[in-house]
C-alpha cells in the first residue's frame, strides 16, 4: 500500500510503517495546488489540521482507500462524502486529549491572575502590583460544553483544583463525576466556560449574542476546540461591553485570522492552534496513525 504523509508525522512511526511493508512518501509541505496532481498515485494519506480533504480532491483520487487524520476532529475532511466513495476515514481521538486539556486549564489560570498583562508589564520594567489583583479558580464553577475525551480530561484537572464542574452535551446522557445540565443553566451558572466539541452544522455559531446575554457578568471563555463555534463578532461585543471579562482562544473561524481585532483586545489571550503541540501528543498521534494504517493494510479495516 502506498501512503502519502501530507502533514508533520514523527519519523519513528513513519519508519515503523515502512518496516511493516508500506510504501511511505513524506510531503509534509505539499501545497493544496500540488496535492491533486500527486495524491492520485496513492492508496492512503495522513493529514493533520493543515491539509484539507474536500470533495473536489477526493473526486480526482480513484485509488484512495484510506485517510487517517492525526487529531481528534474530522472537520478538515469531507468524511461523509469520502465514506460514500468507499474510503475509510479514521482519526486519533485519544492522542491529543491530555495536551489540549492542560492548555485549557493553563488558560484559565492565566486569565484568573492576568499573567499575560503582568508579564508584559514587568518586561516593560514596570512594578505595578496594584493593577494585578486576581482571583482563585478554586471554588469557581466551570461549564464544559462537550464532554468527549478532552472534556473529561479537563474535568478531572478542574475538579482536583477545587472547581465545581457542570457540562452540557446533547449526545451524553450520563457521565460519572460530572453533572449534566441544560445549556441555558450552564450559561447562567458558570464562571468559566470551556468548549470541547467538534464543529458541525449543529454547533457552528452556537455561542452567539443570545447565549452571551444569558451568561454571568464577568464570565471567562476558553475555546481550544474549533473556530466558528463561537460567533466572533458577538464575542467581541461581549468583551468590550463587560459581559465577558476575558477570553482565551487557541482556534479561530479563519486560521490564520484575516481580522485581528479580537486579539488586539487587552482581555483576550490567544495562540495559533497549538492545543496538540506537545512532544507527548505528537508521539501518541504518530503511534496511533501507524497502528491504524498497518492494521488497514493487513485487514482492510
Catalytic residue ranges:
226, 255, 273
* CA–CA separation, 158 and 160 (whole Å): 5
Per the CB < 8 A criterion, the answer to whether 166 and 189 are in contact is: yes
Strands of 88-91's sheet in order across: 23-26, 2-5, 44-47, 66-69, 88-91
Rounded to 10°, the helix 97-112/115-123 angle is 70
The neighbouring-strand residues paired with 163 are none
The three-state secondary structure class of 186 is helix
Interior CA angle at 223 toward 163 and 156, to 5°? 30
**Beta carbons of 175 and 147 less than 8 angstroms apart:** yes
Amino acid at each position: 500500500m502506498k501512503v502519502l504523509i501530507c502533514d508533520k508525522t514523527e519519523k519513528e512511526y513513519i519508519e515503523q510503517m515502512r518496516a511493516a511493508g508500506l510504501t511511505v512518501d513524506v510531503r509534509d509541505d505539499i501545497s493544496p495546488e500540488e496535492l491533486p496532481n500527486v495524491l492520485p498515485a496513492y492508496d492512503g494519506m495522513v493529514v493533520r489540521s493543515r491539509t484539507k480533504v474536500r470533495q473536489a480532491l477526493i473526486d480526482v483520487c480513484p485509488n484512495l482507500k484510506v485517510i487517517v487524520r492525526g487529531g481528534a476532529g474530522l472537520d478538515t475532511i469531507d468524511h461523509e462524502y469520502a465514506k460514500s466513495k468507499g474510503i475509510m476515514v479514521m482519526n486519533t481521538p485519544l492522542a491529543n486529549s491530555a495536551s489540549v486539556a492542560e492548555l485549557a486549564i493553563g488558560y484559565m489560570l492565566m486569565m484568573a491572575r492576568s499573567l499575560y498583562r503582568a508579564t508584559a508589564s514587568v518586561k516593560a520594567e514596570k512594578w505595578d502590583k496594584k493593577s494585578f489583583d486576581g482571583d482563585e479558580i478554586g471554588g469557581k464553577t466551570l461549564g464544559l460544553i462537550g464532554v468527549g475525551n478532552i472534556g473529561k480530561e479537563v474535568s478531572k484537572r478542574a475538579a482536583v483544583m477545587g472547581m465545581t464542574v457542570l457540562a452540557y452535551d446533547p449526545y451524553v446522557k450520563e457521565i460519572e463525576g460530572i453533572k449534566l445540565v441544560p445549556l441555558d443553566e450552564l450559561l447562567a451558572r458558570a464562571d468559566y466556560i470551556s468548549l470541547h466539541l467538534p464543529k458541525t452544522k449543529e454547533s457552528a455559531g452556537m455561542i452567539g449574542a443570545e447565549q452571551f446575554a444569558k451568561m454571568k457578568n464577568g464570565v471567562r471563555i476558553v475555546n481550544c476546540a474549533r473556530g466558528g463555534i463561537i460567533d466572533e463578532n458577538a464575542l467581541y461585543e461581549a468583551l468590550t461591553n463587560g459581559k465577558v471579562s476575558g477570553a482565551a482562544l487557541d482556534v479561530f473561524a479563519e486560521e490564520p485570522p484575516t481580522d485581528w481585532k479580537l486579539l488586539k483586545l487587552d482581555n483576550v489571550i490567544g495562540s495559533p492552534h497549538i492545543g496538540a503541540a506537545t512532544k507527548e501528543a505528537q508521539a501518541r498521534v504518530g503511534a496511533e496513525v501507524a497502528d491504524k494504517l498497518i492494521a488497514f493494510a493487513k485487514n482492510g479495516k
